[in-house]
Amino acid sequence: MSKWYPKKGRVIFHVDMNSFYASVEMAFDPSLKGKPLAIAGNPEERKGIVVTSSYEARKYGVKTTMPLFEARRLCPDLIVMRPNFERYRTASKEMFKILAEVTDLVQPVSIDEGYMDVTGCAEQGAPPEIAERIQKRVYEELDLPCSIGIAPNKFLAKMASDMKKPMGITILRKRDLPVKLWPLPIAEMHGVGEKTAEKLKKLDIETIGDLAKQPVLDLKRLLGINGERLQNRANGMDDRPVDPDAVHEFKSIGTSTTLAEDTTDDTEVRTVLRKLANKVEARMRSKEVLAKHVQLMIRYHDRKTITRSRQLKDYIEKADDLFSIAMQLFDDHWNQVPVRLLGITASDFAEKSEITQQLDLFSFEQYAEKEKLFEAIDDLTEKYGHNPFKKLSTPKESQVTTSFQKDFLDDYKKE
């Protein structure tokens, strides 16, 4: 047993539900099993987007974020359903309750995945045996398939869980990296998005192994500190703990400013709020978090101070969204007397790097339209040290980037 539980090492699981939304619908209605199924927003419209699909649908080439009309062209018999988030949350809660019966060290990172630290679970058997029992219970009790990665740290466990789906159990040790991890395309590495993969390919980095062996100075010049972090991951180094309280790790990020003169000028207020939103976005980006709560502070000429806030349905990260919400709060609550100070605070955070982005079903199209513009502005801002574009008009409110909800992920602990 000692070979499985080293004195100085850790044993980490990453439990990843397979085709979660579609699997939940199949468990709820067994007549759907074995059929090509897609969960999508606006299924009656051609512009709907596939959020997830069953493995039967994937055989036809149906993929997440694919336009629904294209999915139906590839798979004429495709069954399309609207999402039922309450049903998915209930299933998620029951799944995490099963994990929590094994160890208290469970860290949910999205509705359908989480980490477990089973280092102290030697009395329950070898890690593969524990993983098999978890997988069997989730399948028999909830009728849901999952894959489990077993590794000495979170990154390798995450990569391992992706290696065999559905219903896979994969062990990934550091000594396995040259054979199991390094041959994989760089775009398949957790933490490397499409844009980062394109940058890395400029250094002829095509595989994870290429990244592991690249001179670190080249990576830091290209990606800053993130280049070194990614190389450490590629070499199997990740000391992040499994933290059950990580959902609540960040409290708030905010900034405020006292105006040069008390004002009732709407244009000046908008200018100030825009600057504040940009600062909050920059700090959120540096901490790699998304927020789901925005607060506006208004201090009047007589020093009377009010705060008004909004809890959002989805997480946000862009200054445009922060500014739009702050302006709405200001318009709704300003009493028309001179303003001395304004502030914006974001809170209720989720770690961006840990979120499996599940695109908002009703705003994906708008978000996708803006994405290339956002990327271009980010590139220029990185190059010149400031945003070279002036905001010429107030952006429309954007409901935003992900339907991932963290407010219910502690529910499994409450019974």
Task: Give the residues across from 171 on adjacent strands.
Answer: 150
Question: CA triplet 37, 41, 45: central angle to 5 degrees?
Answer: 95
Q: Which of 25, 113, 281, 317 is catalytic?
A: 113
Examine the residue annotation and report whether 70 is marked as an active-site residue of this protein.
no
**Angle of helix 20-28 versus helix 85-100 axis, rounded to 10:** 100
For strands 339-351 and 252-263, give the pairing.
Answer: antiparallel
CA-CA distances (angstroms) from residue 239 to 7, 11, 152, 154, 244? 16, 12, 9, 8, 16
CA-CA distances (angstroms) from residue 28 to 82, 83, 143, 185? 14, 13, 9, 37
Nearest Cα neighbor of 243 from 156, 154, 161, 157 is 154
Residue by residue, what is the 3-state secondary structure of the chain? CCCCCCCCCCCEEEEEECCHHHHHHHHHCHHHCCCCEEEECCCCCCCCEEEEECHHHHCCCCCCCCEHHHHHHHCCCCEEECCCHHHHHHHHHHHHHHHHCCCCCEEEEECCEEEEECCCCHHHCCHHHHHHHHHHHHHHHHCCCEEEEEECCHHHHHHHHCCCCCCCEEECCHHHHHHHHCCCEHHHCCCCCHHHHHHHHCCCCCEHHHHHHCCHHHHHHHHCHHHHHHHHHHCCCCCCCCCCCHHHCCCEEEEEEEEEEEECCHHHHHHHHHHHHHHHHHHHHHHCEEEEEEEEEEEECCCCEEEEEEEEEEEECCHHHHHHHHHHHHHHHCCCCCEEEEEEEEEEEEEHHHCCCCCCCCCHHHHHHHHHHHHHHHHHHHHHCCCCCCCCCCCCCCCCCECCCCCCCCHHHCC
112 is in an annotated binding site: yes
Q: Which residues are catalytic?
A: 113
- Residues of each annotated binding site for Mg(2+): 16, 112
